[in-house]
Amino acid sequence: MSNSTRDNHDVFGKCYQPTKADELREFQRYVIFRVFDSGQTPEVVVGGRRMILLGSNNYLGLSFHAQVKEAARLALEKYGTGCAGSRYLNGNLDLHERLERRLAGFFGKEAAVVASTGYQSNLGTIACLLNRGEVVITDKLDHASILDGCRMSLGSMVRYRHNDMDDLERLLKQYSDRAKLIVVDGVFSMEGDLVNLPPVIDLAKRYGTRVMVDDAHGIGVLGERGRGTVEHYGLLEEVDLITGTLSKSLAGIGGFVAGQARVVEWIKHASRPQMFSASLPPATTAGVIAALEVIDSRPGLRKRLWDNRQRLKQGLNDLGYDTGQTQSPIIPVIIGNEPLMLKFVVELAEKGVFCNPVGSPAVPRGREMIRTSVMAEHTREQMDRVVEAFKEVGLENGLIN
């Protein structure tokens, strides 16, 4: 069918209508799908320009750690590049089961199961646990993978106002006669604040409700031993399920869920994403195992990460920027206006700083922000250069005095 014959009966018709992406390209504000010519190190090359990378979730810098890369190399030589099948059939390696045992021990749980992405872990776990008549209760700022898992399930999803325990209790009372699961992010990925977990656990006990925490951005970052948000609050034994991604501090790709052995066994055999996806590549799996070992053996990486985080946050706050309620190495700079936010990101890039633009639907309209995130491998000098870039762009655009 030629372009000229497309009409309302052509499913492709919508693709040829003007889009937001077309508009952003026209005004040179297209700041997504930027092309990296280098890896996720503190300084990167993007579109031929060298920049300080302030938009990566490689919090501990382990994607370039020698021990992690060597483990991946050895696995590549032994197992090849991929498994060419799902774990149900031909794709279950001894490496996968070794990683699962390591993750279970890391979080002090009976068992764990890994999946091909963190998104699939949440999608498959929630979808296979909720039957008709059962209820999943989520925070309004939970990650899209949680919401999509709820929609894919047979249960009903209800949402409470962000970190509002009165609203959560209202829903628990309303559905007191139903089987329920509370699902929350440990670290909220855009704002960088933490779930108010202790009262969530108290309410869950009072109303006989299970609790699942997605700690994608907390693992390796929070807690005395890097076990994440749940360890930060001293509640590892109280949370029923911990899910997360292997693609942030753990320097790979994939996801996991850890919890009681019988529950994990159910998820392992009932999750459709698990059933119908190829298994994790061997090199990635071995690299994640090595990353877990580095987290245990090098606690100084976490200290450097938090030192960098404090230096950047203090510098931005001293300039007068609103960084919200962040309690993590994710530091939002709230602009509140989408065109200005996009302009700001472009101008920061021109000054050698790569940051992420965040607008609707990731955050509500009027809450548009620049999402920054620091790494342990950043230097003090790089943090100071970033603050200076924010000062110059902010002054040029009248955002700070």
Q: 3-class SS at 310?
A: helix
Give catalytic status of residue 217 as yes or no. Answer: yes
CA 343, 348, 354, 359 dihedral sign is negative
> What tokens were used for 168?
């959560």
DSSP string, 231-296: HHTT-TTT-SEEEEESSSTT-S--EEEEE-HHHHHHHHHH-HHHHTSPPPPHHHHHHHHHHHHHHH
HSE of 261 in the Cβ direction (CA atoms, 13 Å)?
A: 3
Q: Are 49 and 41 in contact (CB under 8 A)?
A: no
Give catalytic status of residue 247 as yes or no. Answer: no
Name the active-site residue from 96, 109, 232, 248.
248
Please, which residues bridge with residue 137 across strands?
158, 182
Name the active-site residue from 109, 143, 180, 217.
217
Q: Are 57 and 247 in contact (CB under 8 A)?
A: yes
Q: Are 54 and 311 in contact (CB under 8 A)?
A: no
Name the active-site residue from 189, 247, 277, 279.
189
Give catalytic status of residue 189 as yes or no. Answer: yes
CA dihedral 248→251→253→257, nearest 10 degrees, is: -60
Other residues' Cβ atoms within 10 Å of the Cβ of residue 54:
25
Catalytic residues, which ones? 189, 217, 248
